[in-house]
Amino acid sequence: MNEAVISTPEWIRSLSHYKASKPIEDVARDLGLRSEDIVMLVANENPLGMSKKVRSAIAEAVFSLNRYPDADANRLQKAIAEKMGVPTDWVVIGNGSSELLGLAAQTVLSPQSSCIYPQYSFSLYPMVATVCGAKTVEVPATDDFNADLDAMLKAIDDTTRLIFLTNPNNPTGTYLPKEAIEHFLDQVPNHVFVLLDEAYVDFLEPELRLDSVALVHKHPNVMIARTFSKAYGLAGSRVGFAIAQPELLEIFNRVRHPFNVNDLSQVAALAALNDDEFIERTLENNQAGIKQLTQAFDQLELPYMGLHANFITVKVGNGDKIIECLLRKGIIVRRMASYGLSDWIRVTVGTPEENEKFLTVLKEAFSEI
Ligand SMILES: Cc1ncc(COP(=O)(O)O)c(C=O)c1O
């Protein structure tokens, strides 16, 4: 193992550098293709690009970068508070919701404590807990790849300080019924911080949605986290937000760096927040894409997981071989082997043309291997 020159705690040495997918330009260069020929279906980004309102807002704001941004992103915080129907001091803005997950860990975890999360959930959860030296407790999922809430409750012990729960979940696309989440939160002791990660909630059918703000009202230990990276089309901008009661946020804000969200990102998120037409188009495209992809998967008799987000995890057999064939033709999807699901791949819903290209190449890959 590569020993660092400086002295680092053993839990930091146990981490590995998170390798995200490369930027489109680099992928294109490596494959000898043009950037416009690459179909990125790997990171659950919005395939429609950026909203026009966001483009104009950024173009106007670009001349004031000599100034520090608003340290607390007050305008955005206020706009989100209004939209979510909570007081302003119930909202905090993060550099992507990833930053908020990390801050949650730093706020409550230490080497003597532990953090619980379900199997098949976002890879950042164990990472942010390990950074704090805490023990990570991954609770096996149910047979249908969902979080096993009863087992998670049983896993709580004296050392538990943080629980991550995702709804709808990545990478399975499954969702938890409202009653199940409500019952779960009623059972979790009040001193345990629960972060309910709603990164994909915008894609969830309205009738399945939980009133998560009401949950925050009821539970002083619960925080909900959302992101502008998915439905709002701002993954590159890195903006997320969280809602919790002010007593929890007061501690949380002590850990957060000032100026954590840059000026252009604050402006972009503010413009995106009320661009209902863009969100509507995004949801329409997503629903149509889910139909297009699942019809094809049904014809090919490929099993798939939940359909409640903007991606589908589908069983293709040898995932690595399929990914290799797709990659050669410039189509990039997510490998699932790190979850112990090497027969599966996760594909982000693209535009109709991108989905079609993916399906054509997938069929070619099946005949090749
Ligand atoms: C479940 C979940 N939570 C949080 C995030 C982080 O999103 P971001 O940091 O871009 O807001 C992701 C990103 O893929 C995710 O899948």
- In this structure, the strands spanning 135-139 and 114-118 are parallel
What is the full per-residue pLDDT of the chain (369 aa) written as tens digits? Answer: 555 688 999 999 999 998 888 888 988 998 899 999 999 999 999 999 999 999 999 999 999 899 999 999 999 999 999 999 999 999 999 999 999 999 999 999 999 999 999 999 999 999 999 999 999 999 999 999 999 999 999 999 999 999 999 999 999 999 999 999 999 999 999 999 999 999 999 999 999 999 999 999 999 999 999 999 999 999 999 999 999 999 999 999 999 999 999 999 999 999 999 899 999 999 999 999 999 999 999 999 999 999 999 999 999 999 999 999 999 999 999 999 999 999 999 999 999 999 999 999 999 999 988
Fold (topology level) of 10-49+277-368: Aspartate Aminotransferase, domain 1 (3.90.1150)
Give, in order, the Cα–Cα distances in Å from 240 to each of 22, 232, 309: 22, 11, 17
> What's the pLDDT at 19?
83
Distance 229 CA to ligand 1 centre (A): 7
Which of 229, 232, 308, 310 maximizes ligand 1 atoms within 8 Å of its Cβ, making it the mutation to test the pocket? 229
Separation of CA 257 and ligand 1 centre (Å): 20
- Ligand 1 mean position, distance from CA 96 (Å): 7
Ligand 1 atom closest to Cα of residue 240: 11
Mutate to test the pocket of ligand 1, among 42, 164, 227 (most ligand atoms within 8 A of CB): 227
User: Model confidence over 29-51: pLDDT tens digits?
Assistant: 988 999 999 999 999 999 999 99
Structural domain spans, the chain: 10-49+277-368, 64-273
Atom of ligand 1 nearest to the CA of 230: 10
3-class SS letters over the chain: CCCCCCCCCHHHHCCCCCCCCCCHHHHHHHHCCCHHHCEEECCCCCCCCCCHHHHHHHHHHHHHCCCCCCCCCHHHHHHHHHHHCCCHHHEEEECHHHHHHHHHHHHHCCCCCEEEEECCCCCHHHHHHHHCCCEEEEECCCCCCCCCHHHHHHHCCCCEEEEEEECCCCCCCCCCCHHHHHHHHHHCCCCCEEEEECCCHHHCCHHHCCCHHHHHHHCCCEEEEEECCCCCCCHHHCCEEEECCHHHHHHHHHHCCCCCCCHHHHHHHHHHHCCHHHHHHHHHHHHHHHHHHHHHHHHCCCCECCCCCCEEEEECCCHHHHHHHHHHCCEEEEECHHHCCCCEEEEECCCHHHHHHHHHHHHHHHHHC
Q: What is the pLDDT of residues 316-362, one digit of tens each?
A: 999 999 999 999 999 999 999 999 999 999 999 999 999 999 999 99
Ligand 1 center to 354 CA (angstroms): 22
| Ligand 1: centre distance to CA 93 (Å) | 14
Closest C-alpha residue for ligand 1 atom 3? 199
Residue identified by tokens 């399906």 is: 359
Distance 6 CA to ligand 1 centre (A): 31
Alpha-carbon gap, residue 357 to 339, rounded angstroms:
26
Kindly report the pTM of this predicted structure: 0.96
Tell me: cis bond preceding 171? Omega within 30 of 0 counts: yes
Closest CA to 45 of 69, 29, 21, 65: 21
Ligand 1, CB within 6 Å, residue ranges: 44, 96-98, 122, 166, 170, 197, 199, 227, 229, 235, 240
pLDDT (0 to 100) of residue 4: 62
Ligand 1: atom nearest CA of 101 is: 4
Please give the Cα distance from 16 to 89 (Å, whole number).
36
Pick the atom of ligand 1 nearest to 239's CA. Answer: 11
What pLDDT is attached to residue 3?
59
- The predicted structure's pLDDT at residue 2: 57
Fold (CATH) for 64-273: Aspartate Aminotransferase; domain 2 (3.40.640)
The number of the ligand 1 atom at minimal distance from the alpha carbon of 171 is 16
Tokens of 291: 């139909």
